[in-house]
Structure formats: C-alpha cells, structure tokens
Amino acid sequence: MTGKYELLLPAGEMDSLIAAVKAGADAVYLGGAEFSARKKAKNFSRDELTKAVSYCHLRDVKVYVAINTLLCDEEVLAAFSYVEFLYEIGVDALIIQDLGLAEMIHQNLPDFDLHASTQMAINSYSGAEVLQEIGFSRVVLARECPLSEIEKISKLKIEIEAFIHGALCISYSGQCLMSSMIGGRSGNRGECAQACRKTYDILDDKKNAISKRAYYLSPRDLGTFEEVFDLIEAGVYSLKIEGRMKRPQYVYQACKTYKDILEGRDFSKDKEELTQLFNRDFTKGLAKGDKGKDFMAYERPSHKGVGAGRVKKKTPKGYLIEFMIDIKKGDDLEFLDDKDRTFRILAPFEAKKFSTYEFSTTRNIKIDSEVRRLTSSELIDKINTEIEKKKDKRPLEIKASFLKGKKASLEFKSGTYKAFIESDEVLQGALKAPVKREKIIENLSKVGESEFYLEKVDLVSDDIFIAISRLNDLRRRGLQALEEKIVKRRKIPKKFESKKFAKVEKLTPGLCLEVSKTQYLKNVDLDKLKRVYLKNDAISQESLEYLKNFDGDIFAVLNNIYYSKEEDEILKKLKDLGFKNVEINNLGQVEKFKDFNLHIGSDMNIFNSYAANFMFSNFSNSISLSEEMDGQGIATIDKKISGNLERTVYGHLKIMTMEHNPLDLLELETNSKTYFLRDGLGAQFPFLKADRTEIYTDKPIFLLDILNEVRSFGINLFRIRVHFKNENAAQLVDMAYEAIKGNTKLFYDKDLYDRGHIYKGII
C-alpha cells in the first residue's frame, strides 16, 4: 500500500478472501453469518472469521466486517455480543448502519474503528461532519456523490471510502423499500429481491402505455478504470470494489486489474478478462455525468459476457456460426432462438477465431443473431492456476542463543514484528555428545506448515545438550508468539454498560397532514390537526398564508438527499419564510438545521429503541419510525423510550429515491407530471421528479379503520400523506378524526389499499 490509497476487495467466502489477498488487496470486507446485508453470500462462521483475520493480518491485509443491517430491539444486545467477539479476534473495523449499535460500541469499545455504511446514505460534507463528530473514523459515501462534494469532504479528518467497480443500486442505498413493500424482503435487512432488475413499462399521467417493456431500473456496472485517479485526487482513500456475491476468480481479476491501473501497468488485457468474468456493460457512474442509456442496462439486467460470433445460416445438420474469438470446450455460450428467447449450452467443440463452425442442434436459432460467451473455461483455469501458484507466506528471521549456563533465547522476526522466547531451564554443557550446531539450525528451520518461510537463522551456541523435542517446542512457541503479535488479538477492556438516555415530554395524540402542493390543503379542517408537514412545492409563502390561523405546528419536510449547495439553498429558503420546525431525513441535516425544532423522518430508518433514544437525547422529541416496522416492534420500542412516535396511517409511501429518471431512456423531457412504472403483475408505481426522482407504492397505505389499534402500539402522532391530485386531503382528515374518536366504521378494501408492514413486518 502506498499510503495514498487502499484497495479494498470483497470476500463472500474464504476462497474469495484468499484470491483477493493473493491478487494484492490492501484490505478486504466481508460479512459474518450474522447481521450482514448480503445474506445470500456464503459469509463466514465465527470459526471461519477467526481464521480469516489471522490469514489476512499475517499478510498485512486489514479486515473490515459488515454489520450493516437494521436491527430490531431483540437483536441489538446479541449484535453487540457479536461485536465483542469481532473485537477480540482482531477485526480492524466494523461497517455499521444502525446508530443504536454504533452508540453502544462507542461507549463500550471506544478504540474499535467504525465505518459508516453506504446504507446510511451519507452523501454530503455535513453528513460526513456529523459522523466525524459522533466518532466514526470513515464514511462509505453514496455511489452518486460527485467529485466536487468529495473534495469538500476531504477537508475533514474522516477517511473517505468510495466504490470504484461493480454492481450499482439504482436507488440511494438505504433509501429503497421497493423489495420489502412488494414482497416483504427488505434490503435494509439483507434480503433485497432486486425489484430493480425486473421489467416494467412506463405509463403517462393518464395511465396510457408510452413504452415497450424493458429494464428501466437496472443500471450498468460501475467501471471507473483509469478514472479512478480522479477519485484519489478528490480525496478518496479507500477504493472499494463491489462483489461479495461474486466468485473468487472475479475477485482476483478485479483486484489484479485495478492494481495494474494504479501502479501504471498496461491493463488492456486485464480489462478484457474482467469484462468476460462479469459485466452488464460499464458506466463511469452518475458522479462522472453518465445518465440515461449511458448509465442503464435497460435491455438485460444480467451478465452479458462478450460477443463471440454470429449465426450465418441454417444447414441440414444445424447452423453455421462465424466465430470472432477462440472457443474452447466447456465455454458457456448463449444463443437466441426464433422467438427471441435466450438459451445456453456448454460448448462441446472448439473453434478458432474468424473461423466458421457447423453447430448441430435441433433448437430453432434466429438467423443473423449474435452468439455470446458468458464464461470462458480457459480463463477460469488460468486464474485458478495463478491463485494456486502465488506464494503469500511471510518472511522469517530467527536469532538464537544456546549458551552453557544460560537459558536458550530466541528472537523470531517478520517485518517489523518481533517475538522473544526463552527455554524454561538453564542449558547444561554436554557430558558426552553435544547437539551439533547444524542440528539446531535444521530443527529451527522446520517452518514448512506455518505461515512463514525462512530467510535465515543466526545462531550463537556452545557445546550443550538439549532434547530434540525441547528444540521443536521452542520453535513452535516462537512461531505462535510471533503470529499472535501480528494477528493483534484483543481483550474486552471493561464490563458492558448501557447508556442512560434523557426523557422527552410526551405529546397528546393527534393527526398530522403532509402535502406536497399547497392546493391539497384546500377545504381541510385545520382544527382537527396537530401538525402540518409541507413538502417540495408546498414549502412556500402561499402555504404559510393559507395556514396563518393554524394553531398547531408547521414543519418543512426536507428531502433525504441534498448536496452542499442544495442544503444551503433550502436552509436560506426556510429562514426567509420564517419556519421554526423542520423534519430531517438524513443524518447530515441534524447539524445544518440544528437551530430549528427537529422531527426525525422515516427515511432515517430508526428501527430500535437504542437508535430512537440516541435521537431523542441529541436531536428531537419526535420520530417517524421506519415504515418497515410492524406493530409489535413499535410496541417494544415504546416500552423502552420516552418520546413521541409517528406512523403513516394513509398515503403512498416513497420506496425509492434516485438520480436516474426512467423518462431519460425514452428521451422525454423531465416535467412535473406523475408517471407510472407497471410491473409484470400489473402493479402501477407512480413516480415523479422533485429534486430527485421518487417512486411511490402502487397502493396507498390505509390504517384509518384501525387507528386505535395503531395507537395501542405506542403511536401518538398519525400522519396522512397526500401527494397526488386524486387524493382528497379534507375527506381523509375528517375520516381519521372520526376514527380516533371511535365514531365511524370504515371499510378496508384490499384491492385499493395496503396495510404496509403494520401486521406482516419484513424478512
């Protein structure tokens, strides 16, 4: 490692970790079998983690373990116990999403480095500044973060980590509820079902189809390649390659490719081989200005391999194929049939570049269609051989003194690490046959099964006698002592303590209304409301004029993503308009908007009482908990906190925030109209462009008929969200008001509405 950067590789299993280390990684990140956001990866058991840390540290490679899922109350203490285990085995840092767990670690293990996961959606200077203040040593920035913002963040002391290669999420990480709202599988819990890799068609504001079906939410893979130097120049220290789900050969080749780039070697062949291993086409990323067709893999969401040839014509036995690359037996080839469906075969033949081959098959293949190679058997064999041949043991020097009348003393040295040991007994002179000098050196040199290779032995000795078994024991003890020095295991410094949190005054229960346009306030009986939340276009003088006689609290709702310039603009606007109350939806906003009375929005993903108490003690007296929480989880939190909890009881929930606009793929101009993405089951998800593109649930949440049950969970603020012109805010407020008093019976129509997660929770 040069000191200017760190090349950080993924490891979903031990073979991938070994591949990364042998390819030259400076650090690896991985997940254990517990609390990891990549639950589909093989991941590491506790025994495997112990071995992984030893293997890496003995090769001067750091290990970061991801605990980057949201934790429910029942899991937090178990997660901390797991953290203690990771601390003891010498893990270098943790990648964390949950603020409650982070606070607990800061209090009890203050020297354990914490990296803020990209799941925290930190994208700005103010976000990184807050992380630095609360004790994080590194921020993993949102993939969308532009170079100009990175340059500002680099002025802080916190380290910057950024992705340079691999799969992309279309939504800001941590801000996607689409998978959980469709099927209950939460990306925030490591169970994302990848709704972004499905086909959709686009409907206009009148719900007329204006496109063919395509993968409108499926981005290409990030590939910065030589432009990685722009990130380093901007201040990025840790260069992260995505891929905990990828196989070892991919991990090895990705590391090798970027090592060659960073060290100034020709990487053209490496890039070709990495492309063969996995690609959806590459994008330089949103931060570099790619968008629309340059950013999206809208024709296919999966690995596309490389072009291999073309089907020329049908023959009596099958088809004549002209190949543009060499084909080996066992290559995974993809064909297109006469109905435009793909199928794959493992090549039972070999063919030379620019040759033709008659392929015998009974399948109907489309004439003039492209043949693609998804896997090269020769490349896999080549990489496996390289990994196998690479030696990665540490150099070892031994200095030994075997002098009569003294204890045997030995120094084992590897790099800057040293370990000293002595024999238990004083050495005696030999009465008959002394142990020969050559024999001592021979036995000390038997390090073959250890993690070291011997460079030299310096020996000072007299004519002494020592049993060979004692000599071997000294060697084993010395190697073990040196290994322990390098691996850096630790002991828990003190008994666990739980922090005492401040109590917050409880508000009387009440209704809250959120609107995104002033016109949605029309005819609303404001006397029935405790709070009004103004979002996007509704943050205006017109709205405030309409609400001038409102006795409750008026909040401006901040969007979950702002960059520094945008933050400054919205801050000035709110001050000019005279707002006193603000809902924040990103951790970075707590510092920038600290002079306002704050409400914690649901985009902050508060999922347990520890995180809630952290917020109550430091920033706010009211919280909208994560919309992924069920009623029982809310009730558990309510018993352990002193503060005010809010829940959406009506409204379309935002399930994605993204820089990408699907309309760009149709080359339509961005406008303020509502469009829809229709999935394969007919569900229609509205999306609109505010500061960024926001996608909403296909059906509104409807809990108005069970408000008193929701109240029994501990909720005392009930929010109605109105963002679309077909919704009648006045009617909804009247219905909710009567429901709270128990004066009306409402009918829940499952064809029109959804319960969200209030009953079913998430996986």
Q: Which of 294, 328, 357 is the endpoint of a domain? A: 294
Query: CA-to-CA distance for 88 and 78, rounded, in angstroms?
Result: 16
pLDDT at 3: 57
Is residue 241 a part of any domain in this protein?
Answer: yes
Q: Which of 389, 415, 445 is the last residue of a domain?
A: 389
- Give pLDDT tens digits for 568-586: 999 999 999 999 999 999 9
> Residues 107, 110, 115, CA angle at the centre, nearest 5°?
105
- Same domain as 138, residue 95: yes
User: Measured between alpha carbons, how far is 346 from 382 in angstroms, rounded to an integer?
Assistant: 18
Mean per-residue pLDDT for 396-420? 97
Q: Read off the pTM.
A: 0.95
Q: Look at 298-312, 510-524, 663-677 and tell me which has the smallest mean pLDDT.
A: 663-677
Residues 242 and 311 in one domain: no
Q: Which residues are bridge partners to 541 per DSSP? A: none
Give the model's confidence band at 41: pLDDT under 50 very low, under 70 low, under 90 confident, else very high: low
Q: Residue 468 pLDDT > 70, yes or no? A: yes
Residue with tokens 């041949």: 389
What is the pLDDT at residue 2? 43
pLDDT band at 706 (very low <50, low <70, confident <90, very high): very high
Helices (H), 46-93: 46-57, 73-88
Q: Which residues, other chains included, contact 434 with Cβ-Cβ below 8 Å and sequence gap of 6+?
A: 462, 463, 464, 465
Are 736 and 720 within 8 A, CB to CB? yes
Identify whether residues 626 and 716 lie together within a single domain. yes
Whether 716 and 588 map to the same domain: the answer is yes
Do 334 and 363 have their domain in common?
Answer: yes
Calpha distance 704→707 (Å, rounded): 5
Structural domain count, the chain: 4
Q: Among residues 436, 452, 487, which one ends one of the domains?
A: 487
Report yes or no on 184 lying in a domain. Answer: no
- Strand runs labelled E in 159-237: 159-166, 201-203, 221-223
Statement to judge: residues 234 and 335 lie in one domain: no
Tokens of residue 492, six digits: 């828990």
CATH of the domain at 319: 2.40.30.10
Q: What is the pLDDT of residue 672?
A: 81
Contacts of 568 (CB under 8 A, 6+ apart): none
Per-residue pLDDT at 74 exceeds 80: yes
- 81 and 155 assigned to the same domain: yes
Please enumerate, as own/partner, the contacts of 24-28 that have beta carbons within 8 Å and a separation of 24 or more.
24/255, 24/256, 24/259, 25/61, 25/255, 26/1, 26/61, 26/62, 27/61, 27/62, 27/63, 27/64, 27/92, 27/238, 28/56, 28/61, 28/62, 28/63, 28/64
Spatial distance between the Cα atoms of 13 and 248, rounded to a whole number of angstroms = 8
- Please write the tens of the pLDDT for every residue from 243-271: 999 999 999 999 999 999 999 999 999 99
CATH number of the domain that residue 62 is part of? 3.20.20.70
Is residue 257 domain-shared with residue 330, that is, in the same domain? no
State how far the Cα of 28 lies from the Cα of 35, in Å rounded to an integer: 18
pLDDT at residue 32, rounded to an integer: 92
Beta bridge partners of 310: 322, 370
Q: How confident is the model at residue 493 (pLDDT cuts 50, 70, 90)?
A: confident
Are 383 and 414 in the same domain?
no
207 within a domain of the structure (yes/no)? no
pLDDT reported for residue 432: 82
- Does 569 fall in a domain? yes
Q: Is residue 178 part of a domain?
A: no
Judged against a pLDDT cut of 90, whether residue 36 lies above it is answered with no
Output the pLDDT for position 1: 35
Is 138 inside any structural domain? yes
Confidence of residue 33 (pLDDT cuts 50, 70, 90): confident
Q: Are residues 257 and 115 in the same domain?
A: yes
pLDDT for 498: 76
Question: What is the rounded average pLDDT of the residues 16-25?
Answer: 98
* Domain assignment of residue 450, yes or no: yes
Query: Domain range holding 633?
Result: 510-650+700-741
Mark whether 375 and 424 lie in a shared domain. Answer: no
Q: What is the pLDDT of residue 743?
A: 81
Q: Which pLDDT value is given to residue 360? A: 93
> Do 271 and 317 lie in a common domain?
no
Contact between residue 87 and residue 59 where contact means Cβ atoms under 8 Å apart:
no
Question: Would you state the structure tokens that stand for residue 416, as one six-digit string?
Answer: 């800057």
Tell me, yes or no, whether 343 lies in a domain: yes
Q: What is the mean pLDDT of residues 591-607?
A: 97
Q: What is the DSSP letter of 617?
A: H
Q: What is the pLDDT of residue 39?
A: 56
